[in-house]
Amino acid sequence: MRALAFAGGSIRWRRSLGAICLGLGAVLASSATLAAEPVTRMLPDFTDLVEQVGPAVVNIRTEEKVHVDPRSAQIDPGMEELFRRFGIPLPRVVPRGDDNGESDDEEPTRRGVGSGFILSADGLIMTNAHVVSGADELTVTLPDKREFKAKLVGADKRSDVALVKIDATNLPTVKIGDVGKLKVGEWVIAIGSPFNFENTVTAGIVSAKQRDTGELLPFIQTDVAINPGNSGGPLINMRGEVVGINSQIYSPSGGYAGISFSIPIDEAMRVADQLRTNGRVVRGRIGVMIAEVTREVAESIGLGKPQGAMVRAVEPSSPAEKAGLEAGDIIVKLDGKPLEKSSDLQRGISAIKPGTKVTLQVFRRGVFKDVPVTVGEFEPEKPATQDGEGAAPSRNILGLTVDDLSDAQKRDLRLKNGVQVVKAEGPSAKSGLREGDVVLTIENTEIRDAKQFAAIVAKLDKKQRVTLLVRRGDWVNYVIVQPGGR
């Protein structure tokens, strides 16, 4: 009986144990499901963001007429642009004439591609300055496949921000986000036209903020896949707001290598406001050459920690010289705001309106001192306009690209007038002219600026030789150029 009772009890116990195990299994399975669900919910779903922002992201194609020597080899279509910026890859340039050697009146064309996004319903579009740089023709394609010829409103090379305009109404627009709320580790997406594949979406996270790459503006660093053609497209947060303009990559090969940089949208909008109003950006300057303060230097001079910007040189007659700044000074504060690194001074001063008086705190020979300085204006860039007004000519019968001399260059060269050669091609290159030469006269007419230079060259007889007075270094010489000569 005991054996039976024990056996019976054993059976009942086994049945009870089985029920308990089944119950625990159900509980564990339920717990596993509950544990898995939050992970699934945390994974980002970008579909709504793409539907929301995608219609306002555009493809920008550029065309630039290129003057080349028919005997020269074709330009390699690969890597020049990708060395630093990647929105407009250097394409194949076909020399004039066909395989039969027949003449063709059309100039060869350099084509590029980039991205942009619509700021206003009437067709104002933001992109990178390097996307539209040098373009003679801009074509904007919307996601609905409509195409428009675009006009350049303005471009600022130092910040790499540009505005273009198309003639349209009731367009979808993007929302501008708050970069201050952006956090490292936050998911972001990019929409653009890498390799001309329109409306391509890539995703990643914010890797760092305020990344200093030596440019005027700090960058947002991400691991979002960015490739040639993405330049100018938006970086978008999970609220569907634009927080940056995709601008650069870090890559030893020219292709995406896991590190991408975007211009913070708040900085870009400040530049855009000036471009829209004035066609150019006005920046402050004080006229100093600066460098980082190393730990060894900081400790050796009694500054303590490395901070601020060390003044390496002061430009003659500059605001800094007039204020009494000296080489060797270390500028540690701008209007009471500490400067952690030298780029903080550059960015801080450039954002100040010229004519404004600021106070710099400097460390000089073991003592802190306040120095008031009236900010001057940074040497303005020529407004980038599509009709070329106010800009240096890009092509002419001499094959010369020239630009105005800055005031600082005139002082250094002790010149009142002249234009600097930016590029010498065709006839001018054959005559020995090269980048950096200064053209003083054409046919005994003194050259004041690039605009006058262009007007004189436009009236030249293509069949007659032209005599230029050119300065190279400390020496001048007459150079004879045959327009159209090979």
Query: What is the distance between the alpha carbons of residues 290 and 308, in angstroms, rounded to a whole number?
Result: 10
Residue 63 counted as an annotated binding residue: yes
- Looking at the DSSP bridge assignments, the partners of residue 118 are 125
Instruction: Give yes or no: 231 in active site.
Output: yes
Kindly state the helix (H) or strand (E) to which residue 31 belongs, with its residue range.
helix 2-42
Residue by residue, DSSP assigns 283-318 as -EE--EEEEEPPHHHHHHHT--S--SEEEEEE-TTS
Which of 115, 207, 231, 247 does the annotation list as catalytic?
231
Residue 130 counted as an annotated binding residue: yes
Tokens 């306002």 belong to 56
Residue 287 counted as an annotated binding residue: no
Tokens 């400040």 belong to 270
The set of residues, in sequence order, having a beta carbon less than 8 Å from that of 348 and lying 6+ positions away, is 334, 337, 339
b/e per residue, 93-122, with b = 16+ CB within 10 A?
bebeeeeeeeeeeeebbbbbbbbbbbbeee
Query: What is the distance between the alpha carbons of residues 386 and 18, in angstroms, rounded to a whole number?
Result: 83
Residue 425 counted as an annotated binding residue: no
Is 245 in contact with 230 (CB distance < 8 Å)?
Answer: no
Which of 115, 130, 329, 344 does the annotation list as catalytic?
130
The set of residues, in sequence order, having a beta carbon less than 8 Å from that of 153 and lying 6+ positions away, is 124, 162, 163, 164, 165, 275, 276, 279
Which of 156, 160, 403, 404 does the annotation list as catalytic?
160
Residue 230 counted as an annotated binding residue: yes
The set of residues, in sequence order, having a beta carbon less than 8 Å from that of 241 and lying 6+ positions away, is 174, 175, 176, 177, 178
Instruction: Give yes or no: 160 in active site.
Output: yes
Tokens 């194949």 belong to 92
b/e per residue, 460-481, with b = 16+ CB within 10 A?
beeeeebebbbbeeeeeeebeb
Residue 474 counted as an annotated binding residue: no
Instruction: Give yes or no: 317 in active site.
Output: no
Smallest Cα–Cα separation from 123: which of 87, 148, 100?
148
Q: Per the annotation, where are the binding residues for substrate?
A: 63, 130, 160, 229-231
* Residues noted as catalytic: 130, 160, 231
Q: Per the annotation, where are the binding residues?
A: 63, 130, 160, 229-231
